[in-house]
Amino acid sequence: MSKKETISSLSIYRALAMLAVLFIHSTSEAAVKAQQSDLYYVYIFFNIFSKFAVPAFIALTSFVLFYNYASDHINWARIGTFYRKRLKLILLPYLVSSICYFAVVHMMAYRGRGLWDTLESFVLKLATGSAYTHLYYVFLLLQFYLLFPLLLIAFRSKLVVKYAILIGLLLQWGFVIWNKYDLMLPQKGSVMFSYMSYWMLGAYLGLKAEVLKGWFNSLGNKETPASHHWWNRLLWLSWFLMAMLQVQIWYWTNLGEWRMNTLWYEAIWNVHALLSCLVLIQAASYIERKWKSGVVTVIHRFGEVTFGVYLLHPFILLLYRKWPWHHGQAWAYPLYIGGGFVLALGLSSYIVAFAFRRFGWSWILFGSLPKPLTAQVSQNKKSSSHPIQG
């Protein structure tokens, strides 16, 4: 099975999704504590509007894997290589990050805990992706990797491919409802079935990438048929309306003015996140084709290091929040929140990029080394009619 061409715009997709993660985490404190602020709606907007972040990463992961590995003939030797790389570049950084974050939390809050209780707690958190609040995502990846060969076999069926998104929705909502009324798992978000619609959406798009390449590239493309432009307008309008509906509902909920069955919150988020995955694909292609090459290169570079930034940025925010320099002053608090975002983005990106440049062993902490993309960016800007260029 020959290796397919790289879809370089997906690096921009990854960068946009990572920005959403940073918006969520940098505003999380304000979303909980700043209800009395005149800017509370702004904090909620950035926090809730960006809730597509993890589903977007999940769909992207599935997209890339099915795009690269699915075929009529499954190359099991190549799948074996895939697992060796993932053990090295995903599992090991997950273990190191879990140990580090667990140690930090232990030193801050559990110094008096006994050795056996500490070890028992660590094993449980490691096995559930809960050593720190963001590590559940890496735990989800590991679950998906374990099931990936079975999914490859399943997707050899044309019926599974045709109804992939529907199957994903049924599996996800079957699990969500089962958990709500029977299982009642306290960490539902650490189970991959909570996100099956995104896994399956990514798989479908990856398998159909060659067919859909015109749609990937249709935003802002004058050569695209008029009917496609109308569908794009409908997609983007629906996405924006669902995002604003979710923001408004959570704004009322956090102020104590609104309360619904949790399944409604889940449903609105699900639709918003699914539409976001589609919007991000088009947005990434548009940015790569239309924006200035220098800006695009910077975004690509950020997209290359997002896994390391994802692992590191909560530690930077944790340290930053130990110094609440706003001292409760209303004018300073939004600057404090914004400062957290800028610091998490800038410092974590710099540290990860610096580590990759200077230390050959940095993959142990931050995953795979970045690949040069300068040539790809230049080529793709010259060939906007074909978004899959390597």
The 3-class SS string of 230-272 reads: HHHHHHHHHHHHHHHHHHHHHHHHHCCCCCCCHHHHHHHHHHH
Q: Is 266 exposed, middle or buried (0-12, 13-18, 19+ CB in 10 A)?
A: middle
Residue 387's pLDDT is 37
What are the residue ranges spanned by the domains of the chain?
10-382
* Pick from 124-133, 200-209, 214-223, 328-337: least confident: 214-223
Residue 197's pLDDT is 98
pLDDT, one tens digit per residue, over 280-323 is 999 999 999 999 999 999 999 999 999 999 999 999 999 999 99
Residue 80's pLDDT is 87
Measured in whole angstroms, the distance separating CA 246 from the mean position of its chain's CA atoms is 18
Long-range contacts of 179-188 (CB under 8 A, 24+ apart): 180/262, 180/263, 187/128, 187/129, 187/130, 187/136
pLDDT class for 99, splitting at 50, 70, 90?
very high
* Pick from 79-93, 221-235, 274-288: least confident: 221-235
pLDDT, one tens digit per residue, over 106-125 is 999 999 999 999 999 999 99
Residue 130 pLDDT greater than 70, yes or no? yes
Q: Report the chain's mean pLDDT, rounded to a whole number.
A: 91
Q: Note the pTM of the prediction, 2 decimals.
A: 0.92
Residue 295's pLDDT is 96
Residue 2's pLDDT is 53
